[in-house]
Structure 1
Amino acid sequence: MHFDNISLIQILAVLSASAAGGLRIGLPLLIIGLIRIDQLWHNIPFLSSFPPQVVIGILSSWSLFELLGNKKLIGLRIIQIIQLIFSPFAGGIMAVGVARLLEVQITPLWFLGLIGGLFAFVLKLVQVGWFFRLGKIPIIFIFIEDFLSAILVIFALDAPENGGLIAMLLLWIAIRSSTEWKYRRETISEK
């Protein structure tokens, strides 16, 4: 591994983008491409190999489905499962893309993608676990999730300290809630 001139702020930006990929898939990728309208998805791995019109169409459609599909329980279940499968990829793509945009000097760059993918997967795994444990998520949490995913992408590029702090707070909440599951299981088994 080779670390040259890497700062904590750049790492926070990468974590912020990865957390956004763990909350939603389409919306953060759409926003990161449209924020840098002059480059679109030029620095984003995998997406840069497709024409921008195709990427905009697919990401817009998926973002709309993520937003409107949450109204029915079956749509929410389908979205949760698809997001669980693809969140590591979205988190990794977001991490590498933001690292390229900020010119982070880490070699190999795929290492950041791996960390970002794992970070996104942990967030999504805990969220899906709570969904299946509770049965239904209140609609206000879905809107908060959409808002957070958009804010985390914007903060990753414009205010990485704030975005990284929010990402670390989300990780802390995920870890705390997983210990809550363990506590509830022990309480239920004792009865």
Structure 2
Amino acid sequence: MIIGFLAVLSAAAAAGMRIGLPLLIILLLHSDELVANLPGIGWLPPRVLIAIFTMWAVFELFGSKQLLGQRILQAIALFFSPIVGAILSLTVAQVIRLEFEPLWLVGVMGGLVAFVLKLTLTGWFFRLRGLPLWWSFTEDFLCVVLVLFAFQSPEQGGIIAMILLWLAVRSSTEWKRYYQENRQPQGDASGPD
């Protein structure tokens, strides 16, 4: 059961980086029966889903390399990452036959993991006024690796996802310390009485 949760964590972390790319990989690697069981979007024909997620993945891959594309992606992904995280988590739980009840709780956990990672990346985007190009390539690579590891090597994927969550928590504590140190005292700005 722990390996199942590591697989779910790996898929959710992939959704915290990209939205269309992990869904496209799942659609291309797995059967039509799995596509029919995708929560929330399984009612669409597989070819329509593949077309939608291919277009979005291409935009993610090319748009994330320029500042304007990064802004658009950060805004959209911040809203959709919890939804995609929940979908990916539930899909992985169904594929590996995770024995956990209630299953919707797995979706909630996956959505929260994806949201925390995307929120951290969005924070870094605004703090640095754009993510460097090397980070965009790293994010693409990690997203693909995490989705593949979720099905083929969940232990490694889960460990990578936990490291990313640890880095997200460390980032939030660093931001808090940074803003506390750089905040000006309220009473020092006034002149002599």
How far is 1:106 from its partner? 1.5
Shift of 1:38: 5.3
Match status 1:47 vs 2:41: yes
Distance 1:63 1:48 in 2: 19
SS at match of 2:64: helix
Q: 1:56 aligns with which of 50, 74, 99?
A: 50
* CA displacement 1:112-157 (0-9 Å, x = unmatched): 0001000100000010001001101111100100110110010000
Aligned to 1:60, the other structure's residue is in SS state: helix
User: For the Cα contact (< 8 Å) 2:32–2:46, is it kept in 1?
Assistant: no
Q: Distance between the aligned counterparts of 2:66 and 2:145, measured in 1?
A: 25
Q: For each residue in 1:77-123, what CA deviation from the matched residue of structure 2 results, as whole angstroms up to 9, or x when unmatched?
A: 01100000000001000000000001111222111000100010000
Letter in 2 for 1:122: V
Pick which of 39-48 and 53-62 moved more.
39-48
Distance in structure 2 (CA, Å) of the matches to 1:38 and 1:46: 15
Distance 2:54 2:96 in 1: 25
Q: How many residues align?
A: 185
> Counterparts of 1:10 and 1:162 in 2: how far apart (Å)?
12
Any unmatched runs of 5+ in structure 1? 1-6
Kindly report which structure 2 residues correspond to 1:167-186, keeping only aligned pairs within 5 A, or say none.
167-186=161-180
- Provide the rounded CA distance (Å) in 2 between the counterparts of 1:57 and 1:115: 28
Residues 38 and 53 from structure 1, CA distance in 2 versus in 1: closer, same or farther, beyond 3 angstroms? closer
* Counterpart selection for 1:106 from 100, 109, 125: 100
Q: Which moved more, 1:43-52 or 1:166-175?
A: 43-52
Q: Which amino acid aligns with 1:139?
A: L
Equivalent pair of 2:65/2:136 in contact (CA under 8 Å): no
> Cα gap change, 1:160/1:28 in structure 2, threshold over 3 Å: closer, same or farther?
same
Stretch of structure 1 that moved more, 37-46 or 64-73: 37-46
Residues in 1 aligned to 2:17 and 2:9: alpha-carbon distance in whole angstroms: 12
Q: Which structure has the greater CA radius of gyration?
A: 2
**Aligned residue identity for 1:43:** N
Q: Using structure 1 for the length normalisation, give the TM-score.
A: 0.93
* 1:31–1:153 CA contact under 8 A, matched in 2: yes
1:161 aligns with one of 155, 162, 168:
155
TM-score (norm 2): 0.92
- Corresponding residue of 2:13: 19
1:43 and 1:101 in contact (8 A); partners too: no
8 Å contact from structure 1 (residues 33, 39) kept in 2: no
RMSD: 1.3
Which of 108, 130, 133 is matched with 1:139 structurally?
A: 133
User: Among the aligned pairs, what percent are the same residue?
Assistant: 52
Choose which of 68, 74, 78 in structure 2 pairs with 1:80.
74
Which AA in structure 1 matches 2:166?
W
